[in-house]
Structure 1
């Protein structure tokens, strides 16, 4: 039977009213397939890209089964890889469970556990947590696990990328074995497959979109750029367009994110219209930046991949990959921040010659070739600095070695003075490299007096000196 309405699910009126308040009318494909299976207590393995509605797909049946507040110990556990995603899931529980009395709590690091412990002691029905904070509070004796009957792993592929497997195994050892399990992931690589074998019991696999596919509502484009400074010039050109109404710019490192933020805040965007978030930012700063962006008070959010899976904003017009991600599945999650809720969006990626290697790997994963556009004529193309050029050449050699272990390398370290730019900067007589001093002993014809005087090495005479 085709499901075209949430009314067709076995959900109570409290949940249906909350769904109506949110403006949801027709279930997404992942919701159509997951909700009935979860309500029947099947273990589920869901392969679904970001933005497909998978959070509601597991929350609605979970809220239906728990129904009302009961006891003090949690009865459901949801694990997520980042604090941003934990907060997003917890917010979704608030919205979908607004007409219930269910108690839920978000646990994550970055702030002291005192308030979280106090809330735990008052009684909680659903825990949403990062693996690390769960383990910390469990070891303190603050989390009672004996009543947990449902466990959800969200963004399992990101869990693997971030090295959470040991913590997950520790959690599996301390929660009841008799429980329902649901695992969701955008990709299904070898590590996620091994986790699913440990975690799930006779699961029903649901794959609503091909693995690692990009959202259909997102148009993608690549600009080839020679260097960092030209990336900045291109960003300057694009961000001033009227169509760039709400933009997320992803950078690979915290330093790059800060540099982008400072440049845009100084020259392009009003300072109160831009925020930056990364791992070095305090928790309150990150929360406030996310909230301001969601509310539309901030036009540009600069972020590292810490935020790639923790932003659920329906009206993001553009995602800009200032750097190509080195974890290739993160490309899917980055660009999935736009084109949500049946809205169109655009994903733009800046690519240097050293990043072309990673683009080819990403295109293989997403099974498509991302179209390219020439740089706009208005964008100034700058000369690549010597150090940046050398770094890219080294990286190209490393890429060749990955593909061909016998490759010895074409890159040779050059001194800056020997580069074209370095030669142009040398003016006037060069400085002496050392002070000559006369030899202190007579030199034989084999050692050579000129050699001794040039090197200043008065002890190495005879045949060894002659071979030099």
Structure 2
């Protein structure tokens, strides 16, 4: 295993990494950094969670020098907001011993702060395509001197339809530049993109994304589960022995929010990240998960690429991914940095065909998921769940306690009273003085709301029309 110091990396960068306990390289870093440092265009391919960010980030920072001139000299394009935040944090670490400044440019946040950092002379920009093109179109982002360009998670760019935006961005950067492209998979359109915008790139594939560490580090469990029983199963899995941080993936934003509400009601410490949340909310959820304040994160696929947490022990696919690539990206949240992990996938009856395709593509050898319920004995043995575990933590408030609290006035709305009792103070702004308009009841249904009998004319008209009196 090679250390960063052995790759000819500047000492301040080595020290910054060592301060975070990062000393030895991953294969993708060991193979790409020596090529990128002198300016060779590189295509880096490796599974998610094997250190691609430092693989391209270290050459970018070192090639800019210790004290680069103000202005954008490096551009790193990423597909999602969450990934922009994660890459920004890694780049900020690498530049901690230099005057180089990094700015994250992405949607969902106010323009002012990002524009202010650009005007202050930030040299490295990490951004998503939409906001980058927006600011460049307003002439607030000058990319004409960005001689270091990186496309990160290029396959996700393709999935999200960003390739036309990438072409627009490349039209704004210098023709003579150093370009790096990193991705977990290399579909045809990405290879075509590389041929068009890169100069004699060297393709480095550290490991096949469908093999190797994905299979060795992660234990895959697949259950055929009923939709109405999934929450109960999840709640019991979350009480498994040794369970640490857990990421749960849902197909829709609504399902993510519903699940986080249900788990929190059951006493678990869960947060969500999905498209219906504001960017500030999403960042708070991610921060609370990374720091351990929340140990369960429910997310949709778009947010998956930004979940860069090494100590995730379990990934649960609440709904099956669309294909094998999405499956790999989801389960890649666990088993990172050489650790082991567990991936549990629920397959609905209607989605058995999807699992058959994923199983065949990844060669799992499990064409038929095991039919599983929250009471199934094999659920407990498969995942080391203590016997007798139920789907609600004891610390969760009981239903009776909630009712009691509401009865005491905590968050409960009082029933509307039809009449005020004898002696009650009059309503504020009432036309009558205190003591008047309290209402009386003579037992014959002749009460009126202001204490006076109903107008006789109204009663006479009812009798004349032959309609019976109320209560008759």
Please state which band the TM-score falls in when normalised by the shorter chain: 0.7 to 0.9
**SS of 1:24 mapped into structure 2:** coil
1:153·1:182 contact (CA, 8 Å) conserved in 2? yes
Residues in 1 aligned to 2:352 and 2:175: alpha-carbon distance in whole angstroms: 46
Structure 1: which 5+ runs fail to align? 381-468
Please report how far the alpha carbon of residue 268 of structure 1 lies from its aligned counterpart in structure 2 after TM superposition: 4.3
Whether contact under 8 Å (2:323, 2:357) holds in the other structure is no
Residue 94 of structure 2 is matched in structure 1 by 96
Whole-angstrom CA distance in 1 between matches of 2:223 and 2:33:
41
- Report the Cα offset of residue 196 of structure 1: 1.7
Query: 1:395-410 to 2 correspondence within 5 Å?
Result: none
Which residue of the other structure, out of 314, 320, 323, is the alignment partner of 2:319? Answer: 323
Deviations 1:51-81 (A, max 9, x none): 1111111111111111234333211110000
Show the counterpart of 2:262.
Answer: 263
* Matching of residue 355 in structure 1 with residue 355 in structure 2: no
What TM-score, normalized to structure 2? 0.76
Residue in 2 aligned with 1:148? Answer: 146
Aligned to 1:12: 10
1:339 maps to 2:338: no
Runs ≥4 in structure 1, deviation > 6 angstroms?
Answer: none
8 Å CA contact retained: 1:49, 1:215? no
Residue 110 to residue 377, structure 1, CA distance change in 2 (3 Å): closer
Measured after TM superposition, the shift of residue 328 of structure 1 is 3.6
| Displacement after TM superposition at 1:299 (Å) | 1.4
Q: Distance in 2 between matches of 1:155 and 1:147?
A: 23
In structure 1, what is the Cα distance between the partners aligned to 2:374 and 2:172?
61
Match of residue 299, structure 1, among 291, 295, 300: 295
Corresponding position of 2:375: 378
Per the alignment, residue 72 of structure 1 pairs with 70
Give the SS at the match of 1:308.
Answer: helix
| Worse overlay, 356-365 or 186-195 | 356-365
CA distance in 1, matches of 2:15, 2:234: 44
Partner of 2:216: 216
Deviation at 1:94, TM superposition (A): 1.5
- 1:183 corresponding residue in structure 2: 181
> Secondary structure at 1:94's aligned position in 2?
helix
Q: Who is 2:432 aligned against?
A: none
RMSD: 1.7
How does the TM-score come out when normalised to structure 1? Answer: 0.77
Counterpart-to-counterpart distance in 2, 1:296 and 1:28: 25
Deviating more after overlay: 322-331 vs 89-98? 322-331
Does the 8 Å CA contact 2:243/2:314 hold for their aligned counterparts?
A: yes
Q: Where in structure 2 are there 5+ consecutive unaligned residues?
A: 378-472
Asked if 2 retains the 8 angstrom alpha-carbon contact of 1:156 and 1:185, the reply is yes
Could you tell me whether the CA contact under 8 Å between 2:57 and 2:91 is conserved in 1?
A: yes
SS at match of 2:171: helix
- Deviation of 1:238 (Å): 1.4
1:274-293 maps to which residues of 2 (within 5 A)?
274-293=270-289
The question of whether the paired residues in 1 share the 8 Å contact of 2:95 and 2:101 is answered with no
Partner of 1:45: 43
Once the two structures are superposed, what CA deviation does each residue of 1:381-424 show, in whole Å capped at 9, x if it has no partner?
A: xxxxxxxxxxxxxxxxxxxxxxxxxxxxxxxxxxxxxxxxxxxx
What secondary structure is seen at the aligned counterpart in 2 of 1:166? helix
Higher Rg: 2
The size of the alignment, in residue pairs, is 374
Cα distance per residue 1:94-132 (max 9 Å; x no partner): 222211111110000012211111110010111100011
Aligned equivalents of 1:377, 1:154: Cα separation in 2: 40
8 A contact 2:5–2:11 mirrored in 1: no
| Conserved? CA contact 2:323–2:354, under 8 Å | no
1:137 aligns with 2:135: yes
Kept after mapping to 2: 8 A contact 1:212/1:366: yes
Question: Does 2:231 match 1:239?
Answer: no
Flag the 1:128–1:327 CA change in 2: closer, same or farther, 3 A: farther
For the pair 1:251 / 2:250, whether they are aligned, the reply is yes
Q: Does the 8 Å CA contact 2:45/2:183 hold for their aligned counterparts?
A: yes
29-38 or 227-236: bigger deviation: 227-236
> Could you say if the C-alpha distance between residues 241 and 73 of structure 1 is closer, same or farther in structure 2, counting changes exceeding 3 Å?
same
Between stretches 61-70 and 335-344, larger displacement belongs to 61-70
